[in-house]
Structure 1
Amino acid sequence: MLKIFMDWYRQRFSDPNVASLIIVIVSLFIVIYFFNQILLPVIVSVVLSYLLDTPVKYLNRKGLPRTLSVIIVLLLFISIVLLSVMILLPLIWQQGVSLVRNIPSMLTFLNQFLTTLPQKFPELIDVGLFDSLIQSIKDKVVQSGNSLLQFSIVSIFSLLSVIINAVLIPIMMFFLLKDKEKIWNYCSKILPKNRTIINKVASEMDKQIGNYIVGSVLHIIILFIFSYVAFWFLGLDYALLLAFIVGVSVIIPYVGIIISTIPVILVALFQWGLSTEFAILIAVYIVIQMLDGNVTVPLLYSEKLNLHPIVIIIAVLIFGGLWGFWGIFFAIPLATLVKAIINAWPKSVQQS
C-alpha cells in the first residue's frame, strides 16, 4: 500500500513547478484563513485597485503619466463614494429600519390572506399550521429588530476603526495602482525559483479577477438603477431599499435572485394585494431579470468562465463558509483558480 501511494505521489508531484505551486497556494490559504480579519483593509484595497485599474490604464494610454492617472481616478472614485455615503446610504438605512418595523404588520396581513386559502382548499391546507408558522416568524423578526437596534448602538463605538480604515484604504490603493509592477517584481523575488506554473496561473487569474470585479460592480449598478426606476415609477414602497437588495443579490450566483425576489413580492403583496398593480410589478420584475440574464451578463463578462452551475454553487458554499462575504464574492474567481490550476498542470504529470 505504501509503495502504491509513493508511486502515485512521484507521478503527480515530482515536478518542482508543481511543488512550488502547492507551497504558494497552501501558504496563501493559511494566511488568509487565520488572518482574514486583520488583512481585511488590504483585501478591500486590492479589490478596489482591480476596479480602478481599467480607467487608470485608459488615461495612461491617452498620454497621462501613471501617477497623475492614478490621482485623477482615485479622487473621482472617492468623490463618488462620499456622495453615495451622504445621499444614498442614509435613505437606504431609513427605509430598512422602517421595513423592519412594519414586518409584523405585513406578516399579520399575510396571515389573514393565507387564512382564506383553507376555505378554497380545505382538504389540502391546515389554517392552524399557518397561524403557528406566522407567529414563529413574527417572534424571529422582533428579535432581529432588537438585534439591529443594538447593533446600530454598538457600531458607534467602532467608528474610530472605520475612520482609520477609510484613511488607510485609499492610501494603499494609491500605491497598489501606482507601483503595481514594482510590487509584483518584489513578490516574484520571494517566490520559489521553479514557478513556471505559478506564473501561468497568476497571469490567467490576474485577467479573470480584474474582469470579474469590474463586471460585478457594473452589474450591481445597472441592475440597481433599472430596478429602482421601475419600482419608483410603479409606486412600490421601499423602492430604493428593494432595488439595492436586487442589485447586491448578483454577488450570490443563482441563489441571490431568489433571496431578493422574496421581499419584493412580500412588499408588493402587502401594498396592493392580488391586484392589477401587483401583476404589473411582477411582470416588469420578470422582464428586468430576463434582460439582465440574457443581455447585461453576456455584455459585462467578456471572459467566459465556462463553469457548470453546480460547480459555482459548491464554490459559494465552500468559500462562503470559510471567508463569509468575501468568500461568496470571490467564489467564481476561486473556482476559476482551481480550473486554471488543473489546466496549467503539466501534461506529462497528468498522463502518468
Structure 2
Amino acid sequence: MQKPLSLSINRPVLWLGVVLLVAVLFWLLAPVLAPFVIAAVLAYVLHPLVVRTERLFGQGVPRALAVVLVETAALLLLTGLLLLLVPVILREWPLLQQQLPALLDRIDSALRPWLAQMGLNVSLDLSDLKAHLRQWLSANREDWIAPLLASLKVGGNALLSLVGYAVLVPVALFFMLNDWERLVDMSLQWVPPRWRPGFDDFMSECDRVLGEYLRGQVMVMLALAVFYSAGLALFGLELALPIGVFTGLAVFVPYLGFGLGLLLALLAGLLESGPGQALLMVAVVYGLGQLLESFVLTPRLVGERIGLHPLAVILALMAFGQLFGFVGVLVALPASAVLLVALRRLRQQYMHSSLYEDPGTGPDVP
C-alpha cells in the first residue's frame, strides 16, 4: 500500500497553492477591492503622520481626532491639486469659444501643403464641423452634458463607481488609520511563531525600501513642478504656473498626470499663440521633461533608492497596469520594491544552500 505524503513534503505545495488562490481572487475582485487597496496605500503613507500628530498634542488627544486632522489635511492637498485646473478652465473656455473656428482654419491651411508634398490631394471641408462646434460651445451646459454622458456611457455603473470611490476611500482610510496597529497585529497572528524573526526582518527591510521610494517620489514631483513651470514660462505661456505645477505634482499617477498636463499646455498654447509655437513649446518642454523624469530623476531618486533598474521600472508599470488597471499603475513601484526585497532574500538563501556550489571547489566535470 502506498504511503500518503507527509505534511512536511506537501507544505511548500500547500503554501504555493494558497498564494496562487489569493492572487487569482485579487485579480478577479480587482474592481471591488480597488478603493480598499487605495485606502490601504494611503493609510500606510499617512500612518507616521498620525503617530507624530498624537505625540505633538500629547496623550490626551483621541486617536480618532488625530486621524481626522491628518486625513483632512491630505484631502485638502488633493483638492488643492485639482483646484489648479480652475484658472485654466475659466480662462481657456471663453478663448476656446472665440478662437476654435479660426484655429481650425489655420490647421487646415497648414495641413494642405504638407499633405500635398506627400502626394495626397485632400480637401478638408471644415465648415460643417465649425458650425457644429459653434453650436456646441455656445449651447447651455445642460444641453450637451446629458447627451455626452449618454454617448460616453458614463452614467449608471461608471458614475456610481466614481461616487463609490469618493465615499469608500475616505471612510476606509479613516478606519484603517484608526485601527492600524490592531490590523497589523491581526495580520501577524497568521505568521507561525518560528517564522516571526525572519518575517519581521523582511518587513523591516520592505518598510525601509518603501520609505525611500516615497521620499524619492516627492523629490521627483517637486523637481518636475519647478521644471515644467519654468519651461512653460520661458515660452511666454500665461498659465505656466498652474499648468506646470499640476503636471509636476500629478506625475505620481504615471502617464495619466503627464498626459493631462501635456493636453492642457497644448490647448493653452494653441489658444494663446497658434499651432506652430504651441507644438514647439510642448515638444521642447514636455519632451525634455519626460527625458529628465525617465532617465535622470526617477532612476536616481526612486529607482536607485529601491534598487530597481530603469527598465525594471518601465516593465513594472506596464505589467501591473495590464493586470490590475489604474490601481495596478498606482501600486506598481511599491509592490515591485517589496518583490525586489523578496527576490534578494531568495537569492541569498539559494547562494548559501547546497544547491549552489562554487565550480572551483565542486567535483571536476569530464
TM bucket by the smaller chain?
Answer: 0.5 to 0.7
Aligned 8 A contact 2:229 2:241 in 1: yes
| SS of residue matched to 2:305 | coil
Q: How does 1:332-343 map to 2 (within 5 A)?
A: 332-343=333-344
CA 1:311–1:64: 2 relative to 1, 3 Å:
same
- Match runs of 1:14-163 below 5 Å: 22=16, 25-62=19-56, 64-65=58-59, 67=63, 68-81=65-78, 87-88=83-84, 109-117=106-114, 122=117, 125-128=118-121, 149-150=149-150, 154-155=154-155, 162-163=162-163
- The alpha carbon displacement at 1:321 in A equals 0.9
Q: Does 1:351 align with 2:356?
A: yes
Which of the pair has the greater relative contact order for Cα pairs under 8 Å at 6+ separation? 1
Counterpart of 2:323 in structure 1: which amino acid? L
Structure 2 counterpart of 1:235: 237
Write the distance in 2 (CA, Å) between the matches of 1:189 and 1:59. Answer: 28
1:43-98: per-residue Cα shift (whole Å, max 9, x none)? 1211221232232243345463482533321232234445656x446566778988
Larger radius of gyration: 2
TM-score normalised over the length of structure 2: 0.63
- 2:311 aligned counterpart, secondary structure: helix
Separation in 2 of the partners of 1:242 and 1:193? 51
Is this contact kept in 1: 2:43–2:177, CA < 8 A? yes
Q: Distance in 1 between matches of 2:164 and 2:276?
A: 50
Q: Deviation of residue 319 (structure 1)?
A: 1.3
Q: CA RMSD in A?
A: 5.0
Number of equivalenced pairs: 324
2:360 is matched with: none
**How high is the TM-score relative to the length of structure 1?**
0.65
Cα distance change on mapping 1:160 and 1:77 into 2, 3 Å: same
- Bigger shift: residues 329-338 or 272-281: 272-281
Contact 1:251/1:328, CA 8 A, preserved across alignment: yes
Question: Bigger CA drift: 242-251 or 340-349?
Answer: 242-251
More deviation in 312-321 or 159-168?
Answer: 159-168
Instruction: State the secondary structure of the residue aligned to 2:150.
Output: helix
Query: 75-84 vs 258-267, which deviates more?
Result: 258-267
